[in-house]
């Protein structure tokens, strides 16, 4: 099993860990795992898209270049059918439904993870943690369907070099 | 009124109009909306879908409700609301 898949399994496990009265710690870690499952899936896949012949050492170093805030901004561009002009000229068409799902889910999960890790004013319910684990599962499925497309290549490039997509060139 | 507050007012109306196009799944008893900023300081619309206490939510129901929330999210984004729609299921059990 890969790290993203292991994290996805852990998110599901933690959301169901206590049969009754789930602990807040379990639910919060579950939500965090859901986000990191998707984060590591996308950074690993984007790196292999951009540099398919990189050594393992280089791949692991490059995976640390990804910035959470930049990734959120890029996902914002892919979250609606009509991408901003600087992106649509390269995409050559509307954003697919699967790509919108991936982009929307990443933004949702990132915000949820920040709440889960830092916002003690929020009380989590089991269903909310299960919802985010399901969102992560749906993201994996959507990525599997489009990972060999032109669109996923453009997405990978944008995740790694977000600033290049900030304005039209 | 600052630009963010104006955006919130426009969003509030759009969100109500878009939500009205959907039939809520039987497990949902009400929807709360809150307009504020997300952790990155960007406008956000937080929608909490409250699930009835007595509703049984197994894997099938979870998949269906998550798909419903995804459809609502897409509709809101295509409705060009200023804030990103953050959706959340809650059940007090």
Segment A35-65, tens digit of pLDDT: 999 999 999 999 999 999 999 999 999 999 9
Q: Which residues pair with B85 in a beta bridge?
A: B45
A101 has a chain B CB within 8 A of its CB: yes
Q: Is the pTM of this model over 0.80?
A: yes
Residue B52 above 60 pLDDT? Answer: yes
pLDDT number for residue A164: 83
Q: Do A111 and B69 touch (CB under 8 A)?
A: no
pLDDT in tens, B26-35: 999 999 999 9
Chain A residues whose CB is inside 8 A of the B57 CB are: 127, 130
Q: Do B70 and A101 touch (CB under 8 A)?
A: yes
What does pLDDT average to over chain B?
92
- Over residues B17-25, the mean pLDDT reads 95
pLDDT number for residue A134: 98
Domain ranges of chain A: 3-161
What is residue B47's DSSP assignment?
A: E
Chain pair A-B, CB pairs under 8 angstroms: 59
CA distance B92 to chain A (A): 7
Question: Among partner residues A79, A125, A131, which is closest to B77 by beta-carbon distance?
Answer: A79
Domains of chain B and any CATH numbers: 3-90 (3.30.70.1350)
Question: Are B82 and B36 spatial neighbours (Cβ–Cβ below 8 Å)?
Answer: no
**Residue B46 CB neighbours (<10 A):** 17
How many Å is the Cα radius of gyration of chain A? Answer: 16
Residue of A nearest to B48 (CA): A128
Q: Which residue has the higher pLDDT, B10 or B66?
A: B66
Can you tell me which residue has the tokens 């009509």?
A: A82
pLDDT in tens, B71-82: 999 999 999 898
pLDDT number for residue A9: 97
Question: Are A102 and A151 spatial neighbours (Cβ–Cβ below 8 Å)?
Answer: no
Quick one: which H or E segment has residue A21? none
In this prediction the ipTM stands at 0.91
pLDDT in tens, A86-145: 899 999 999 999 999 999 999 999 999 999 999 999 899 999 999 999 999 999 999 999
Using the CB atoms, write b or e for A6-35: b if 16+ within 10 Å.
Answer: ebbebbbebbebeeeebeeebbbbbbbbbb
Compute the distance between CA of residue B35 and CA of residue B53 in angstroms, rounded to an integer: 26
**For chain B, what's the residue count?**
93
pLDDT number for residue A62: 94
Q: Which two tokens stand for residue B38?
A: 């997300």
CA distance A58 to chain B (A): 30
Quick one: which H or E segment has residue B82? none
- CA A103 from chain centre, in angstroms, equals 7
pLDDT number for residue A121: 92
Q: Which long-range contacts (CB under 8 A, 24 or more apart) does A65-72 make?
A: A65/A160, A66/A39, A66/A159, A66/A160, A67/A162, A68/A39, A68/A110, A69/B40, A70/A159, A70/A162, A70/A163, A71/A39, A71/A42, A71/A106, A71/A110, A71/A159, A71/A162, A72/A106, A72/A107, A72/A110, A72/B40
Residue B6 above 60 pLDDT? Answer: yes
């Amino acid at each position: 099993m890969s790290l993203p898949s292991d994290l996805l399994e852990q998110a599901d496990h933690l959301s169901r860990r206590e049969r009754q009265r789930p602990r807040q710690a379990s639910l919060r870690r579950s939500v965090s795992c859901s986000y990191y499952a998707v984060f590591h899936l996308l950074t690993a896949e984007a790196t292999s898209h951009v540099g398919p012949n990189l050594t393992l050492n280089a791949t692991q170093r490059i995976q640390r270049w990804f910035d959470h805030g930049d990734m959120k901004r890029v996902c914002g561009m892919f979250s609606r059918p009509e991408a901003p002009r600087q992106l649509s000229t390269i995409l050559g068409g509307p954003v697919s439904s699967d790509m919108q799902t991936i982009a929307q889910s990443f933004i949702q999960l990132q915000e949820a993870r920040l709440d889960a890790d830092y916002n003690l004013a929020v009380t989590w319910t089991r269903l909310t943690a299960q919802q985010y684990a399901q969102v992560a599962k749906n993201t994996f499925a959507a990525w599997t369907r489009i990972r060999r497309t032109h669109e996923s290549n453009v997405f990978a490039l944008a995740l790694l070099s977000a600033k290049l997509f900030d304005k039209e060139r | 009124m600052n630009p963010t507050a104006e955006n919130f007012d426009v969003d509030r109306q759009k969100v109500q109009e878009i939500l009205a196009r959907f039939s809520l799944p039987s497990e949902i008893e009400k929807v709360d909306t809150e307009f504020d900023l997300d952790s990155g300081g960007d406008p956000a619309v937080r929608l909490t879908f409250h699930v009835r206490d007595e509703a049984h939510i197994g894997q099938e129901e979870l998949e269906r409700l998550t798909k419903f929330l995804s459809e609502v999210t897409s509709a809101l984004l295509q409705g060009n609301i200023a804030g990103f729609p953050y959706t959340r299921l809650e059940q007090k059990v």
